[in-house]
Chain A
Amino acid sequence: DTGVSQDPRHKITKRGQNVTFRCDPISEHNRLYWYRQTLGQGPEFLTYFQNEAQLEKSRLLSDRFSAERPKGSFSTLEIQRTEQGDSAMYLCASSLPVSSGNTIYFGEGSWLTVV
């Protein structure tokens, strides 16, 4: 499978714990995006990388959220001190460099339940 891969697919954690999600983009896609989706809503943009550089992070929901892409390949999204309101699906997506109409492809998402 050469699509965007996310791990784990499901995570249940206790409030206050830290969680980390991993995303492996499509090979050679230098842009990587993170989104969050809550029930009944469309995906909400969080942050994106071009190679290892995080070019937009102002929409991360709070300072408890952080993302890295240290070698410009896979990325991690960490949520510290989780709260029940963090329960959502976290989506990763990737694309080639921007040119005419390059397409963003999504992974299957990582479901987080905070209890």
Chain B
Amino acid sequence: DAKTTQPPSMDCAEGRAANLPCNHSTISGNEYVYWYRQIHSQGPQYIIHGLKNNETNEMASLIITEDRKSSTLILPHATLRDTAVYYCIVRADNNAGNMLTFGGGTRLMVKP
């Protein structure tokens, strides 16, 4: 699976949009972009995923560039409970395990 690059940490003011970038310049055509987050001492929580098109759900929006080499996770109105480590992962759609490979993630701190 392709490797991703994320900033190690970011701050965001409560109520503002949090924009978390991810670079995945070696992504292959069959690889999806997944985002998970992990709040302290809990298991990773699925947020959203996409292949080519932008995606939105009740938690967040995912913007993928046209060349698919980077993406941005957007939390539209960050709250203190969104403080967590956010992982961007690319994952191939095949039968060889199909597991997730986690990098270091971005530690998002939402401040009052």
Residues of A within 8 A of B (CB): 4, 31, 33, 41-45, 48, 55-56, 89, 91, 93, 95, 98-109, 111
Question: Which residues from chain B contact A89 at a C-beta distance below 8 Å?
Answer: 41
Q: Which of B3-19 contact A (CB under 8 A)?
A: none
Given known contacts A100-B93, A101-B32, A106-B45, A31 and B105 CB-to-CB distance under 8 angstroms: no
* A55→B99 CA distance, assembly (Å): 11
* A102→B101 CA distance, assembly (Å): 15
Q: Are B46 and A56 in contact (CB under 8 A)?
A: no
**Which single residue of chain A is at the shortest CB-CB distance from B48?**
A103
Question: Which residues from chain A contact B87 at a C-beta distance below 8 Å?
Answer: 42
Query: Is B21's beta carbon under 8 Å from chain A?
Result: no
For residue B109, give the distance in angstroms from its CB to the closest CB of chain A.
16
Question: Which residues from chain B contact A105 at a C-beta distance below 8 Å?
Answer: 46
**Residue from A44, A95, A101 in contact with B102 in the complex, judged by beta carbons closer than 8 Å:** A44
Inter-chain contact count A-B, CB under 8 Å?
60
Question: Which residues from chain B contact A103 at a C-beta distance below 8 Å?
Answer: 34, 46, 49
Interface residue tally for chain B (C-beta within 8 Å): 25
**Which single residue of chain B is at the shortest CB-CB distance from A105?**
B46
Given known contacts A106-B45, A109-B43, A98 and B100 CB-to-CB distance under 8 angstroms: no
**Residue from A31, A91, A98 in contact with B94 in the complex, judged by beta carbons closer than 8 Å:** A98
Given known contacts A43-B102, A101-B51, A107 and B43 CB-to-CB distance under 8 angstroms: yes
Which 9 A-B pairs rank lowest in CB-CB distance, beginning with the nearest? A42-B102, A106-B43, A106-B44, A108-B43, A98-B98, A109-B43, A43-B102, A45-B99, A101-B32
* A98→B91 CA distance, assembly (Å): 11
**Which single residue of chain B is at the shortest CB-CB distance from A100?**
B93
Max chain A C-beta neighbours (<10 A), residue from B43, B49, B94: B43
Q: Are B104 and A108 in contact (CB under 8 A)?
A: no
Given known contacts A91-B44, A101-B32, A101-B51, A56 and B97 CB-to-CB distance under 8 angstroms: yes
For residue B90, give the distance in angstroms from its CB to the closest CB of chain A.
12
Question: Which residues from chain A contact B46 at a C-beta distance below 8 Å?
Answer: 103-106
Question: Which residues from chain B contact A43 at a C-beta distance below 8 Å?
Answer: 44, 100, 102
**Residue from B34, B93, B97 in contact with A48 in the complex, judged by beta carbons closer than 8 Å:** B97
